[in-house]
Amino acid sequence: MLKFKSIISRFLAIFFVTTLSVYSQADGTVITIKSDDNAPVINKHIYGHFAEHLGRCIYDGFFVGDNSEIPNTNGVRNDIVEALKKLQIPNLRWPGGCFADTYHWKDGIGPLDQRPTIVNTWWGGVTEDNSFGTHDFLNMCELLGAEPYLSGNIGSGTVQEFADWVQYTNFAGKSPMSDLRKENGREKPWKVKYWGMGNEAWGCGGNMTAEYYANEYRKYATFVTDWENTGSVARIASGASSDDYHWTETLMKNVPAKMLEGVALHHYSVIDWNNKGESVDFTEDQYFGTMSEALKMEELVTKHSAIMDKYDPAKKIDLVVDEWGGWYDVEKGSNPGFLYQQNTMRDAVLAGATLNIFNNHADRVRMANLAQCVNVLQAVILTKEAKMILTPTYHVMEMYKVHQDAKLIPIKFVSPLYIYNNKSLPALNVSASKDSKGLVHVSMVNVDSKKENKVEIDLNELGVKNITAKVLTSKTLQDHNSFDNPTKIQPADYKGFEVKKGKLIVTIPPFSVIVVEGK
Ligand code: AHR
């Protein structure tokens, strides 16, 4: 027995010495990163956007009309189109949001002077003249090279109206709706694949229970088909709000898998719905609160995916996070119903961390839409008359576009903590992928507001030798791009790394986003 004990203690001593020496050799948090043939591809649609008839997103945002002095193509601003093409935006969701369940698509087609005006009840009670409709949106998507994602009206529409919209946009043959489309000047169908089956059916989309909506869904899904039986239409069910797991469970249990291509999820990083705080003038306490809500996305997609796994173990149905982002008080003096807010380094950190979470869950999260694209909530673009600025969130999206359709590389690490006021969050947030040309990209976010963090990556495991990096950082968390100083925050080449004995050691400054490229 004694002999056995001494063998054990000798073994433990060796184990601890070895472990300690591994730790003492490490120059920061060790990230284990190794390609895996079975890892999923990161669907480019995770990098999607959202454009609602809300505030200045469409009117006085994307769309200025073809009489505007601002350079435009059929009324759509050329500078916005160029900026979004550079992002390679894969898809754009429209026309809402809450607006979708009040929208009757036939109001927005045909001669302009015959289109009715309506009141946008959800967003500021403004009059909507329907001058931007189906043709305008779908043609704009063609300009952008983005796939349209149309949200249909289940809350206040009819099955017939929804089915007609699909026939109008998608049917090539002769039919009442394709004839109408041709009369309105469009011969070829647009072939829209992604269809949202209502929006927030638990709230602005009709205040339905999960059980009631599941039944409604089955009815609508029966008639929302591609009219040509090619199975090319993807129906995305209105999904849960944040941690409403009952919603996902009810849908998955009650809707046959063959009627369901995607289940949505909405989660906004809001500290307190009654006191959201300002978008620029925020405290560290508010920053910590926003980041706690943002990092909750990890738990949300894990738990919603686990429910989906029970009913769909082959993972055929997509989890579609079609609204996410930071939501603060509107800018002082602006219309409270327009949800216009500035965008700071806090939003860059939020975006980088959320996109890393989506990448790492690419086996189930196959689409997502940042809310929203222009002039609303966590926008990538802000406009003021003829001026346009790109926000820190835009730059994160641009740095991360390398992950679109690249193969995920699984990673493992134990994050150091960002400690604030006796509370803590994981400080580091990382994802990695290998693209079709063999380039490896590792995107890293340091959430800590004060402390830099170092990471160490074994380059031999990655099979790359030459490293370059880009960083998005600034002096303060509140820094942002403004119409007077539009390029204060921009990605820059980064040299804060070294390669030592086959290991890459990267120093990540506080509240910064870094993308490393390895060849
Ligand atoms: O993005 C703003 C609003 O937030 C959307 O219209 C709605 O779906 C959500 O509640």
The question of whether 249 is a catalytic residue gets the answer no
State which H helix or E strand residue 140 sits in: helix 134-144
pLDDT band at 3 (very low <50, low <70, confident <90, very high): very low
Nearest residue to 262 (alpha-carbon basis) of 292, 226, 228, 235: 235
State which H helix or E strand residue 446 sits in: strand 440-446
pLDDT value at position 135? 98
* Residue that is last in its domain, among 359, 378, 405: 405
Q: Which residue has the tokens 């060796």?
A: 14
pLDDT band at 426 (very low <50, low <70, confident <90, very high): very high
For the ranges 22-26, 201-205, 418-422, the lowest mean pLDDT is seen at 22-26
In a domain, 456, yes or no: yes
In a domain, 4, yes or no: no
Residues 424 and 349 in one domain: no
Main-chain dihedrals φ then ψ at residue 407, nearest 5 degrees? -85, 130
pLDDT at 360 over 70: yes
Residues 260 and 370 in one domain: yes
* Residue nearest (by alpha carbon) to ligand 1 atom 8: 97
pLDDT at 347 over 80: yes
Tens digit of each residue's pLDDT (9 = 90 or more) over 160-200: 999 999 999 999 999 999 999 999 999 999 999 999 999 99
CATH, residue 207: 3.20.20.80
pLDDT band at 23 (very low <50, low <70, confident <90, very high): very low
Decide the pairing of beta strands 29-33 and 453-458.
Answer: parallel
Q: Please give the Cα distance from 517 to 468 (Å, whole number).
A: 5
**∠ CA 180-181-185 to the nearest 5 degrees?**
115
- State the distance from the centre of ligand 1 to the C-alpha of 113, rounded, in angstroms: 30
Tens digit of each residue's pLDDT (9 = 90 or more) over 505-519: 999 999 999 999 999
Residues 390 and 514 in one domain: no
pLDDT at 11 over 70: no
Residues 309 and 423 in one domain: no
Q: Is the CB of 373 under 6 A from ligand 1?
A: no
DSSP per position, 453-497: EEEEEEHHHHT---EEEEEE--SSTT-B--SSSTTSS--EE---E
pLDDT at 7 over 70: no
In a domain, 453, yes or no: yes
| Residue to mutate, 122, 197, 199, 323, ligand 1, most ligand atoms under 8 Å from C-beta | 323
Burial class (CB in 10 A: 0-12, 13-18, 19+), 494: buried
CATH, residue 483: 2.60.40.1180
pLDDT band at 22 (very low <50, low <70, confident <90, very high): very low
Residues 373 and 508 in one domain: no
Mean pLDDT (whole number) for 343-352: 98
Residues 472 and 352 in one domain: no
| Residue to mutate, 49, 200, 340, 375, ligand 1, most ligand atoms under 8 Å from C-beta | 200
Tell me the percentage of the chain whose pLDDT exceeds 70.
95
- State the distance from the centre of ligand 1 to the C-alpha of 239, rounded, in angstroms: 13
Mean pLDDT (whole number) for 228-240: 88
* Residue that is last in its domain, among 385, 405, 425: 405
Residues 398 and 415 in one domain: no
pLDDT band at 462 (very low <50, low <70, confident <90, very high): confident
In a domain, 428, yes or no: yes
Mean pLDDT (whole number) for 220-226: 92
pLDDT band at 231 (very low <50, low <70, confident <90, very high): confident
Residues 88 and 124 in one domain: yes
3-state secondary structure of 108: helix
* Residue nearest (by alpha carbon) to ligand 1 atom 6: 97
* Residue that is last in its domain, among 387, 405, 423: 405
Residues 493 and 398 in one domain: no
3-state secondary structure of 15: helix
Residues 80 and 32 in one domain: no
Beta carbons within 10 angstroms of residue 161's beta carbon: 16
In a domain, 8, yes or no: no
pLDDT value at position 460? 84
pLDDT value at position 461? 81
Mean pLDDT (whole number) for 81-90: 98
The question of whether 200 is a catalytic residue gets the answer yes
* Residue nearest (by alpha carbon) to ligand 1 atom 5: 97
How many angstroms separate the Cα of 93 from the Cα of each of 201, 392, 518?
A: 17, 21, 33
Q: Please give the Cα distance from 133 to 111 (Å, whole number).
A: 11
| Segments of 84-164 assigned E as strands | 91-94, 118-120, 126-128, 147-152
pLDDT value at position 13? 38
pLDDT band at 72 (very low <50, low <70, confident <90, very high): very high
pLDDT value at position 25? 54
- State the distance from the centre of ligand 1 to the C-alpha of 99, rounded, in angstroms: 8
Catalytic option among 128, 200, 261, 298:
200
Tens digit of each residue's pLDDT (9 = 90 or more) over 291-330: 999 999 999 999 999 999 999 999 999 999 999 999 999 9
pLDDT value at position 358? 98
Residues 224 and 372 in one domain: yes
pLDDT at 270 over 50: yes
pLDDT value at position 470? 98
Average model confidence (pLDDT) for the chain? 94
In a domain, 2, yes or no: no
| Segments of 158-248 assigned E as strands | 194-197, 234-241
In a domain, 6, yes or no: no
- State the distance from the centre of ligand 1 to the C-alpha of 97, rounded, in angstroms: 5
Domain that includes residue 219, residue range:
44-405
Tens digit of each residue's pLDDT (9 = 90 or more) over 94-115: 999 999 999 999 999 999 999 9
In a domain, 15, yes or no: no
| Residue to mutate, 101, 266, 273, 339, ligand 1, most ligand atoms under 8 Å from C-beta | 266
Counting from 1 in the atom list of ligand 1, the atom nearest the Cα of 203 is 10
**Count of the separate structural domains present in the chain:** 2
Residues 399 and 414 in one domain: no
Q: Please give the Cα distance from 360 to 344 (Å, whole number).
A: 25
- State the distance from the centre of ligand 1 to the C-alpha of 419, rounded, in angstroms: 32
- State the distance from the centre of ligand 1 to the C-alpha of 336, rounded, in angstroms: 14
pLDDT value at position 229? 66
